Amino acid sequence: MEREMELGDKAVGFLLTLTSLSIFTYYTFWVIILPFVDSDHFVHKYFLPQEYEILIPVIAGVVLLCFLSIFVGLVMLKSKKKKTT
C-alpha cells in the first residue's frame, strides 16, 4: 500500500514539475525572445499580445496574496478559539 502511494506522489510531482517548467519556458520565450522577432513572423500567433506580459503575473500575485491572507486569517481565528476553550 505504501509503495503505491509513493508512486502516486512521484507521478504528481513529475506532472507539477513538467507543468511549471512548461509555463516558465513559454513565459520566458514570450517576454525575452519574442520582442526581437519580426511582428509578421508566424510564431506570434501562438502568444498573447504583449500587454498581458505584466498583467498576468500581477493578477496571479494579487490572487495568491489574497488566498494567503485568508488562510493566515483563518488559522489565526482557529488558534484563538482553541486558546479560549
The string of pLDDT tens digits covering residues 34-82 is 999 998 999 999 999 988 999 999 999 999 999 999 999 999 999 888 7
Cβ count near 76 (within 10 Å): 10
pTM: 0.67
pLDDT of residue 81: 81
In whole angstroms, what is the distance from residue 59 CA to residue 57 CA? 6
> Which pLDDT does position 47 carry in this prediction?
92
pLDDT at 83: 78
Q: What angle do CA 54, 55, 59 make, to 5 degrees?
A: 120
Q: What is the pLDDT of residue 7?
A: 78
